[in-house]
Amino acid sequence: MVKQYRERLAEKTLEIKLNSSGCVVVSGPKFCGKSTMCERFAKSVTPLKTTNAIELALADPRSALLGEKPHLIDEWQKAPEIWNEIKDDLDREYEFGKFILTGSTTPANPERIQHSGAGRITRMSLKPFTLYESGESTGSVSLSDLFRDPEKRFPTRFAAENKIGLSDIAFLICRGGWPVSVMAKKEYALHVTKNYYDGLFVLENESDEFAAFLKSKNIELLQAVLRSFARNISTQAKRTGMIQDILASGARGTLDDDTFASYERILKDLFIIFDLPAWNLNLRTSVSVRTAPTRHFVDTSIAAAALGINPADLMNDMKSFGYFFEDFAVRDLSVYAEAIGGELKHYRDSSGQEVDAIIELENGDYCAVEIKIASDKNISDGISSLNGFEKKVFKSGLKKPQFKMLLTSHGGCYRTEGGIFVVPISCPKN
């Protein structure tokens, strides 16, 4: 049986980096498709997936570099000296696109890396499939087109009909964008994702990607920290509050800040969670901009699995559904933003004004996006929030957003009389 391959938006980024750098490091969570994508660009591969292969690379890291270029070293972080060898190789004979490194974790012993690799080694990330990549977004609304000309590029003739409803979104959140889950039949897809989550913290052998991180660690505490992040998904929860959350759950009798921080670091090093940075407009007002990051998951299905949440649970708790949907949307928006050379951030100030997502391009252009479960009240609130944000920007004499978008869970795709684009999450692409 031929393995089905779905094209990734990150392929273009990888192509550009291979033609402008000697080595590209592709990082991302386990099973998100890094190896499969990178193998399409490589002419030879050294996979570090067996104990013997890892021991050989540790004893003779230069041997891992042998092969026709571009040469892929899969899970390079298991033999971190490879980094230094690549840096030295590029110093001796620099060529574009010589090496590709993939990693499901950051190196467990970063002190073994002696050089930054600046000017020789560049980085990029890979997340699970967006809805556009998995074929569940029509791609009828292009963010790059809207940045170029929002007046003309919006599909005004797009029908209000949208076959994807709220229950479908609940399913997609719990299934996630994992390639193996996307390929599975719908009736089995949630089981595939659960199997993935259950296997995250089970070490089958010493060559497991997580072995170096989980060794001598309390797995139950790590899971308790992960559940706390899931309970605080899409919020700016502080560490002190999350520690109290864990203590209140009974998962731990005592927990200090340093211990929590060490386990938080592990979850970030394993590319399970990440912080969406704040966007600072430098408003010339007395209102101060909040710089706390928003807590997010690389894929919302991990948060759902950590809490034992299924699609029916989301449908029965609309408040929680809203937080999970925001995280789900941030996953897609972050990938779309990267694909057009932008960066995703969020905005919040001391007056309570906030914007769920800001996509900022390198030239300074940006758009403002509110993320809401579709309902008359939520849409009205989202429109009001976006208009309030734009007025505040205008009063400060700063550049207004290139366009404003309300990203919804389901329903029609249209433009309001005030010029705000209301777009279901099953419509956008980069």
What does the pLDDT read at residue 101? 97
Measured CA to CA, the distance from residue 70 to residue 339 in angstroms comes to 22
What does the pLDDT read at residue 111? 53
How many Cα atoms are found within 13 Å in the side-chain-facing hemisphere of 198?
7
Spans of the chain below 50 pLDDT: 1-2, 114
Contact 359, 144 (CB under 8 A): no
Axis-axis angle for helices 257-269, 219-231 (nearest 10)? 80
Three-state DSSP at 344 gives strand
Torsion of CA 176, 336, 108, 118, to 10 degrees: 170
Query: Can you give the pTM of this predicted structure?
Result: 0.93
Tokens of 104: 């499901």
Tokens of 3: 């393995």
What does the pLDDT read at residue 124? 95
Q: For residue 313, give Cα distances in angstroms to 225, 229, 330.
A: 21, 18, 21
For residue 277, cis peptide bond before it (omega within 30 degrees of 0): no
Measured CA to CA, the distance from residue 391 to residue 241 in angstroms comes to 33
Measured CA to CA, the distance from residue 10 to residue 314 in angstroms comes to 30
- Output the CA torsion sign for 264, 268, 274, 280: positive
Consecutive H or E run containing 225: helix 219-231
Measured CA to CA, the distance from residue 304 to residue 182 in angstroms comes to 16
Pick one of 3.20.20.150, 2.60.40.10, 3.40.50.300, 2.30.110.10 as the CATH number of 10-125.
Answer: 3.40.50.300
Residues paired with residue 122 on neighbouring β-strands, in sequence order: 24
Domains of the chain by residue range = 10-125, 141-429
Residue 244, number of CB atoms within 10 A of its CB: 13
Contact 426, 136 (CB under 8 A): yes
313-320: long-range contacts at Cβ-Cβ below 8 A with a sequence spacing of 24 or more? 314/170, 314/173, 314/174, 315/166, 315/167, 315/170, 318/373
Tokens of 375: 């309902």
Tokens of 127: 């997340």
The string of pLDDT tens digits covering residues 65-91 is 999 999 999 999 989 899 999 999 999
Nearest CA-CA partner of 331 in 83, 126, 186, 185: 126
Distance between start and end Cα atoms, the chain:
31
What does the pLDDT read at residue 210? 65
Q: Which amino acid is at 340?
A: I
Residue position matching structure tokens 């700016």: 236
Residue 376 burial by Cβ neighbours in a 10 Å radius (0-12, 13-18, 19+):
exposed
What does the pLDDT read at residue 76? 93
Instruction: Return phi, psi of residue 125, to 5°.
Output: -120, 160
Contact 384, 394 (CB under 8 A): no
Tokens of 99: 């090496």
Residue 19 burial by Cβ neighbours in a 10 Å radius (0-12, 13-18, 19+):
exposed
